Amino acid sequence: MPHAQPRPFSLSTTGPLTGTITVPGDKSISHRSLMFAGLAVGQSRIHGLLEGEDVLASAAAMRAMGADIVRGDDGAWQVSGVGVGGLLQPATALDMGNSGTSTRLLMGLVASHPITVTFTGDASLSQRPMGRVVAPLSRMGADFTCAPGERLPLTMRGLCPAVPISYTLPVASAQVKSAVLLAGLNAPGITRVIEPVPTRDHTERMLRGFGADLTVEDGPEGRIISLRGEAELKPQTITVPGDPSSAAFWMVAASIVPGSDITIRNVGLNATRAGLVTALRMMGADIAEIDARDVGGEPVADLRVRHAPLRAIAVPPDLAPSMIDEYPVLFAAAARAEGRTVARGAEELRVKESDRIAAMAAALSACGARIEEYEDGLAITGTGGEPLPGPRSGGARIATHLDHRIAMSMAVAGLNAARAIEIDDARPIATSYPDFIATAERLGAEAHWPDQ
């Protein structure tokens, strides 16, 4: 990161948020675009790639394994792939920074190649468990040496040919599903993943777009995704839609700041990612879809969001897979709603960049919200539209735990708080949304840097 020391900050506003903005390219699609293009034979072009640190870690890793990846002067990325089965032995360990998605998906790619790769990461990533990916990839023939608790640093030795498997996901995880399917690209025969609970389906959509023989059908146990291995992927031109996880912060910000009226352009609305839109509308949010369209096989629309009073709901647990990354900012919205919101069924939040349930419970409690913590979520009694009181003790700062979504969610919570809600470090935001603070300022918010 460009700053060696933490950079505390806060956001505030004395009036409404207004304007039209775009958000960074979808992070999930950006990761997969680089990886799949890196396995295609020929040159792909990617427009709208998210240029945050997590995605750049994927680009660096694919370069280290032989793909030619460059950013053109026009902002488009050009990728010349090595072909399925063509990944090369990297000269050094692959540093994944804070990106769990990069790590788990790349583990899937490496599993069916005859190479040995060591994955390292920052302090946060090194605490995140990799066992849920290690288990199925081991069945396919990969061999692992991990730090205690199946954590990074992790060295894996791929097997070629790998063994195709049929694997039922024990937890709803698009990353685990994707890792198994990516390993299956270079395995002979059919690799199947059965997901009892549907998760984001970018991998399936994009692999078909690149020419893979992949089918999806419904069965008694859930969705069955079948991939024929030893695939030959064809280069593509990809336009990455705006990331709904990044748009989420502005949807909540406009909903809770009186008088706000903003439009967010080109937001991806894949049904497996749009759970927050559903939840906010249930709470009374005013979110209109404008110019709904299809871009590269993904549904996209502009979203106009206007301030509206929010009311508490019981968040349906079956929404969890389609909004798992948006729970922190949903918690911030619930803290401003009328009544007691209960959001459960999200135990996956315990093993994200931080324990997001504990982190948000502590942060919102410190700012005056009434919180009840469960193993799989929170109950939050809101202010009924009134600003949060803010930290009770002067100078208190919210701990981000190096988690970009905690930092941005609590910055949104503090937009019109009674006392400034200072976030302990802006640096983690660069992993997914480098322009977050600048975008807030364009909408009318003011950024404060207390240590400068």
Q: Is the pLDDT of residue 15 over 70?
A: yes
Residue 232 and residue 349 in one domain: no
Residue 168 and residue 316 in one domain: no
- Flag whether 138 is marked binding: no
Cα 416 from Cα 413, distance rounded (Å)? 8
Q: Classify strands 286-295 and 68-71 as parallel, antiparallel or unpaired.
A: unpaired
- Flag whether 356 is marked binding: yes
Mean pLDDT, range 286-310, rounded to an integer:
94
CA angle 247, 251, 254 (to 5 degrees): 135
Place of tokens 């629309």: 301
pLDDT of residue 395: 59
Residue 218 and residue 360 in one domain: no
Mean pLDDT, range 234-242, rounded to an integer:
96
CB 39 within 8 A of CB 83: yes
Both tokens assigned to 54? 């997590």
Q: Most distant CA pair in the chain: distance in Å?
A: 63
CB 388 within 8 A of CB 414: yes
With respect to residue 315, please indicate whether it lies within any of the assigned structural domains: yes
Residue 40 and residue 62 in one domain: yes
* DSSP letter string, 230-282: S------EEEPPBPHHHHHHHHHHHHHSTT-EEEEEEEE--TTT-HHHHHHHH
pLDDT of residue 351: 86
Cα 451 from Cα 89, distance rounded (Å)? 45
Residue 168 and residue 150 in one domain: yes
Residue 222 and residue 319 in one domain: no
Phi, psi values for residue 336, rounded to 5°: -110, 0
Single out the catalytic residue among 26, 325, 403, 435: 325
Q: Is the pLDDT of residue 1 over 60?
A: no
Which segment of 77-91, 379-393, 424-438 scores lowest on mean pLDDT? 379-393
CB 202 within 8 A of CB 189: no
In which domain, by residue range, is 259 found? 10-25+241-448
Cα 213 from Cα 204, distance rounded (Å)? 10
Residue 277 and residue 184 in one domain: no
Phi-psi sector, 189: left (phi>0), alpha (psi -120 to 50), beta = left
Residue 268 and residue 361 in one domain: yes
Q: Domain boundary at 211, 238, 265, which?
A: 238
Q: Domain boundary at 238, 272, 301, which?
A: 238
pLDDT of residue 44: 97
With respect to residue 281, please indicate whether it lies within any of the assigned structural domains: yes
Cα 129 from Cα 348, distance rounded (Å)? 11
Sign of the C-alpha dihedral computed for residues 127, 128, 132 and 138 taken in this order: negative
- Flag whether 128 is marked binding: yes
Higher-confidence residue of 392 and 306: namely 306
Q: Which of 263, 413, 275 is nearest to 337 (CA)?
A: 413
Predicted confidence (pLDDT) per residue in 367-416, tens digit = 999 999 999 999 999 999 999 998 876 657 999 999 999 999 999 999 98
CATH code of 95's domain:
3.65.10.10
Predicted confidence (pLDDT) per residue in 203-228, tens digit = 999 999 999 999 999 999 999 999 99
Average pLDDT, the chain: 95
Residue 383 and residue 423 in one domain: yes
3-state SS class at 76:
coil
Mean pLDDT, range 253-257, rounded to an integer:
98
User: Which residues make beta-bridge pairs with 193?
Assistant: 167, 225
With respect to residue 379, please indicate whether it lies within any of the assigned structural domains: yes
Predicted confidence (pLDDT) per residue in 334-350, tens digit = 999 999 999 999 999 99
- Flag whether 352 is marked binding: yes
- Flag whether 325 is marked binding: yes
pLDDT of residue 2: 44
With respect to residue 159, please indicate whether it lies within any of the assigned structural domains: yes
Residue 56 and residue 32 in one domain: yes
Residue 302 and residue 343 in one domain: yes
| Alpha carbon 432 to chain centroid, angstroms | 8
Q: In a 10 Å sphere around its CB, with 0-12 CB exposed, 13-18 middle and 19+ buried, how is residue 230 labelled?
A: middle
- Flag whether 297 is marked binding: no
Residue 350 and residue 256 in one domain: yes
Both tokens assigned to 293? 């369209």
How many domains does one find in the chain?
2
Place of tokens 């991990």: 146
Cα 310 from Cα 322, distance rounded (Å)? 21
Predicted confidence (pLDDT) per residue in 124-143, tens digit = 899 988 999 999 999 999 99
Q: Which of 89, 173, 61 is nearest to 128 (CA)?
A: 173
Cα 421 from Cα 402, distance rounded (Å)? 17
Task: Give yes or no: 318 in active site.
Answer: no
With respect to residue 94, please indicate whether it lies within any of the assigned structural domains: yes
